[in-house]
Amino acid sequence: MSSQDRVIIFDTTLRDGEQSPGASMTRDEKLRIARQLERMRVDVIEAGFAIASVGDFESVQAIARTIKESTVCSLSRALDADIDRAGEALRDANSGRIHTFIATSPIHMKYKLQMEPDQVVESAVRAVKRARNLIDDVEFSLEDASRSEMDFMCRIIERVIDAGARTINIPDTVGYAVPQQFGQVIGELIQRIPNADKAIFSVHCHNDLGLAVANSLAAVSAGARQVECTINGLGERAGNASLEEIVMALRTRRDVMGVETSIDTTQIVPASRLVSSVTGFPVQPNKAIVGANAFAHESGIHQDGVLKHRETYEIMTAQDVGWNTNRMVLGKHSGRAAFRARLEELGTSFATDAELNTAFTRFKELADKKHEIFDEDLMALVSDARAEA
Ligand code: KIV
Ligand code: ZN
């Protein structure tokens, strides 16, 4: 797989994900998640924001000392003290990265930073150089890039690449982008910046309009080769692009996307469950890939189709993403085929069609009263039907 065919998966569950209100994690919880991310073969784990607190520093340090296969990263503002603290936390890492950022949109520069654009450029260059003195692998982010001016982004990116940034991250900080336009922005940056080939372009999309995954995929189509994402889409406000959706979209639609990741997809569901149990954030049942219903079929037409040929209604296998199996849920929309198949799995068959018909009629009556029919319900109604037939 050449680097052009490969998308780097940068997981920020432990940093941006932890910025979900109510999702803060202890050092040990972060370590457990980091180990699972490494098992899943995530390329880069953003372990925290070393200067944010002593706890965050210790978490980044512990993860940097433990994780061997993934690069471990700490966030830092474009400030000397932040960069030095990140470097210190990462000192023992097998492979470490400092991720430094500064806002580049007119509204952030004027009201938040209260800096002139030229000062922002100089701060960015200084930060990248300082980080490069501590570590080889430096990422630079243009905060609020999707509301920044194209000419200004080109200017600052060219300078930070010259200063030694290896990865240039274009965040859609406030989830403002829409896919086609965001893809065009990424394509134009790569095409216009003279030294663009010296860095990997990355995206970091927030989900305020529910478009984080779509925007990330549009960016990949335009040449981005790193995607920043989180397990279960956790993150500030409406969250970040969800790792499971990005990875499975790239894999399932490789025919159109033309790229691969290194992720062991069978570790996705275990990672989702771990993050959900650690943070206490439940996964909605209809969440793509990791929701309890993602591989469950209820309607009779769908169940009959899947029993005849799985691919009639499934585009991935449940096992590919770490579930044990797909599921036929017996409810009021289910048909005779799924009803009979489930009973056969339970070791029950019918001596006569009359027996099957009576049991199926009783099943439909019960299904009108209950959301889901469980195996115990089935066994009870079969013995009633037998007694009656
Ligand atoms: O959303 C954002 O802009 C960020 C940056 C710090 C990368 O999280
Ligand atoms: Zn973010």
Confidence of residue 382 (pLDDT cuts 50, 70, 90): confident
From 75, 83, 215, mutation site for ligand 1 pocket: most ligand atoms within 8 A of C-beta: 75
Q: Give the pLDDT of residue 1.
A: 67
pLDDT tens-digit readout, 226-260: 999 999 999 999 999 999 999 999 999 999 999 99
Q: Are 47 and 13 in contact (CB under 8 A)?
A: no
Residues within 6 Å of ligand 1 by CB: 16, 75, 101, 141, 143, 169, 171, 173, 204, 206
Ligand 1: which atom is nearest the Cα of residue 171?
A: 3
Q: Give the pLDDT of residue 389.
A: 64
- The two structure tokens encoding residue 225: 């080769």
Report the mean per-residue pLDDT for the chain: 96
Mean pLDDT for the stretch of residues 370-388: 86
Q: Are 46 and 15 in contact (CB under 8 A)?
A: yes
- DSSP string computed for 202-264: EEEEB-TTS-HHHHHHHHHHTT--EEEEBGGG--STT-B-BHHHHHHHHHHTHHHH--B----
- ipTM value for the complex: 0.99
Q: Is 240 annotated as a binding residue?
A: yes
Q: How far is CA 309 from CA 6, 122, 155, 319, in A?
A: 32, 61, 55, 16
Q: Give the pLDDT of residue 383.
A: 85
pTM of the predicted protein model: 0.95
Q: Whose CA is nearest to atom 1 of ligand 1?
A: 173
Identify the nearest ligand to the CA of 236 by its number: 2
- Residue 121 pLDDT greater than 80, yes or no: yes
Ligand 1: which atom is nearest the Cα of residue 240?
A: 1
Q: Is 82 annotated as a binding residue?
A: no
- The torsion defined by the Cα of 170, 145, 236 and 54, in degrees rounded to 10, comes to 70
Which of these, 130, 60, 68, lies nearest to 88 by C-alpha position? Answer: 60
Q: Is 16 annotated as a binding residue?
A: yes
Question: Among 106-115, 123-132, 350-359, which is the least confidently predicted range?
Answer: 350-359
Report the distance separating Cα 5 and Cα 250, nearest Å: 11
Ligand 1: which atom is nearest the Cα of residue 228?
A: 7
pLDDT tens-digit readout, 133-170: 999 999 999 999 999 999 999 999 999 999 999 999 99
Identify the nearest ligand to the CA of 75 by its number: 1
Mean pLDDT for the stretch of residues 331-347: 91
Distance 354 CA to ligand 1 centre (A): 64
Report the distance separating Cα 297 and Cα 85, nearest Å: 51
- Residue 355 pLDDT greater than 90, yes or no: no
Q: Are 222 and 5 in contact (CB under 8 A)?
A: no
Q: Give the pLDDT of residue 387.
A: 78
Report the distance separating Cα 328 and Cα 295, nearest Å: 9
pLDDT tens-digit readout, 261-310: 999 999 999 999 999 999 999 999 999 999 999 999 999 999 999 999 99
Distance 317 CA to ligand 2 centre (A): 31
Ligand 1: which atom is nearest the Cα of residue 145?
A: 3
- Residue type for position 306: V
pLDDT tens-digit readout, 173-205: 999 999 999 999 999 999 999 999 999 999 999
Report the distance separating Cα 381 and Cα 220, nearest Å: 53
Provide the pairing of β-strand 167-172 with 137-143.
parallel
Report the distance separating Cα 15 and Cα 287, nearest Å: 22
